[in-house]
């Protein structure tokens, strides 16, 4: 886990297909700056990682998505990310 600075964040509404038809969900697009291994990176960390889906999962309520990110990113943009040592561009927000 390393320190990062969030430089952009946007919550987007999307439709997701499931067995009962489309469902509305919310996903974060987050951009952070990190220094790792002596290099500077701009990463797009997963905001809501799921081991089941192996990727960024949607929030089913907008309020829940906003609340989670407010817990993980301070008002001044400071946050923590976990990076893949083999590919530092792969990252996930941690809280």
Query: What is the SS3 assignment for 26-73?
Result: EEEEEEEEEEECCEEEEECCECCEECCCCEECCECCHHHHHHHHHHHE
pLDDT on residue 69: 85
- Provide the pLDDT for residue 76: 95
pLDDT score, position 28: 86
Q: What is the mean pLDDT of each run of 10 residues along the chain (95 residues)?
A: 95 85 88 96 83 65 88 94 94 87
Residue spans of the domains in the chain: they are: 2-80
Supply the pLDDT for residue 56: 65
Q: Is the dihedral of CA 18, 69, 80, 39 positive or negative?
A: positive
pLDDT for the residue numbered 35: 97
What is the distance between the alpha carbons of residues 54 and 64, in angstroms, rounded to a whole number?
20
């Amino acid at each position: 886990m390393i320190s990062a600075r969030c430089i952009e964040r946007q919550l987007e509404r999307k439709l997701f297909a499931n067995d009962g038809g489309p469902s509305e969900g919310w996903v974060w697009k987050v951009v952070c700056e990190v220094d790792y291994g002596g290099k500077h990176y701009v990463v797009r960390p997963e905001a809501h990682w799921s081991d089941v889906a192996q990727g960024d999962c949607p929030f089913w309520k907008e309020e829940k998505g906003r609340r989670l990110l407010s817990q993980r990113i301070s008002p001044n943009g400071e946050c923590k990310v976990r990076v893949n040592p083999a590919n530092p561009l792969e990252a996930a927000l941690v809280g």
